Amino acid sequence: MASASASAQLERAYKRMLIPTFLAVGIFAIVPLVGMIGLSFTDYHLIRGFRGEVGFQNFVRLWTDGRFMESIYVMCALSFIGVAVQIVMGTLVAVGLEKIVPRWRLARGFFVIPFAVPAIVTALVWLSLFTPTLSPINAFFAIFGIQIPAILTTQTGAIAAIVIADTWTTYPFVMLLILAALQGISTDLDEAAAMDGATRIRAFFYITLPLLVPALTMVALFRFIETLKHFPLIFVLTNGGPGRSTQATNYYAYVQTFQSSNVGYGSAIAMFLFFFAGVISLYIAKRNARLADA
């Protein structure tokens, strides 16, 4: 009886402890989301004010807006290229830490440092590196009379700059998950492959890599969702330029909302991104459930 009473008291205590969390989520997540949904069905303008409801007209307008379609192309380019580079780099570092320096725990901690740096700080650091008048790299090559072109002045260079900055700060996430997956692979497989005369490279491509496919798939999906939030890097590094060449969808929502003052249409763009990310998240949840049941 006393045990049941103690359990009931603990349950009530846990519920009371969750109240601040629910309040924070409600105030900072649910309320803004509901407000954005409501604004997406209106023609609200920051200067001219509320001009009535428009129903689904904002969402219909998306598919006839050439700039919106361009922003999707930029978003996909940044996401797919960025995820591919991050997976390759994160996997290489994870394999190196697992196979080459398995006992160097300080080295593992060193590689995780970029993941703790805020995105805005990362963007400012890389902006200084990509700006010819500020970059120590340019200053070093200038000693030998080598002039490095400004990477941020071309569309290809600007996209590459965003991918490089994003990869530097987020590849540790890929590395940690792949490293955990590597530690779950039995060393007996590598030993058996070595006894059969297989080199490390062949053993990796024919044994280790196939076993990493589930982990790589999950990492790719998680990173793809995260790459939809490129806004800080785009805002600081390129400001959407040169021209409109790096205006991803989330940045275009910012342009419509705060530069053109079209709050209703900007909210509709944000809702599209929210729905898009939600579909991918639902797919991840179902995939995790199938893996758990397997």
The residue extents of the domains of the chain are: 51-293
pLDDT surpassing 80 at residue 41: yes
CA 284 remoteness from chain centre: 15
Checking if the pLDDT of 219 tops 80, the result is: yes
Give the number of C-alpha atoms closer than 13 A to the C-alpha of residue 263, restricted to the C-beta side: 17
> To which residue do tokens 């490129």 refer?
230
The pLDDT confidence band at residue 176, using thresholds 50, 70 and 90, is confident
* pLDDT at site 149: 75
Q: Give the span between the Cα atoms of 175 and 91, in whole angstroms.
A: 6
pLDDT band at 16 (very low <50, low <70, confident <90, very high): confident
Residue 289 is predicted with a pLDDT of 66
How many CA atoms does the CB half-sphere of 7 hold within 13 Å? 4
pLDDT score of 121 = 86
**51-293 CATH pick, 3.40.50.1000, 1.20.120.1200, 1.20.1050.10, 1.10.3720.10:** 1.10.3720.10
Tokens of 103: 């006992």
**What's the chain's average pLDDT?**
80
Q: What is the pLDDT of residue 232?
A: 85
Q: Which amino acid belongs to residue 138?
A: N
CB 149 within 8 A of CB 159: no
State pLDDT tens for residues 98-130: 766 555 566 667 777 888 888 888 888 888 888
Which positions ≥6 away from 61 have C-beta within 8 Å? 265, 268
Per-residue pLDDT tens for 54-83? Answer: 778 888 888 888 899 999 998 888 888 988
pLDDT on residue 113: 80
Top-confidence range, 24-38, 48-62, 81-95: 81-95
The whole-number average pLDDT for the span 2-25 is 69
Which segment of 8-12, 173-177, 239-243 scores lowest on mean pLDDT? 8-12
Instruction: Name residue 53's beta-bridge partners.
Output: 42
Please tell me whether residue 53 adopts helix, strand or coil conformation.
strand
Higher pLDDT, 161 or 101: 161
| pLDDT at 155 exceeding the cut of 80 | yes
- 293 pLDDT band (50/70/90 cuts)? low
Q: How confident is the model at residue 182 (pLDDT cuts 50, 70, 90)?
A: confident
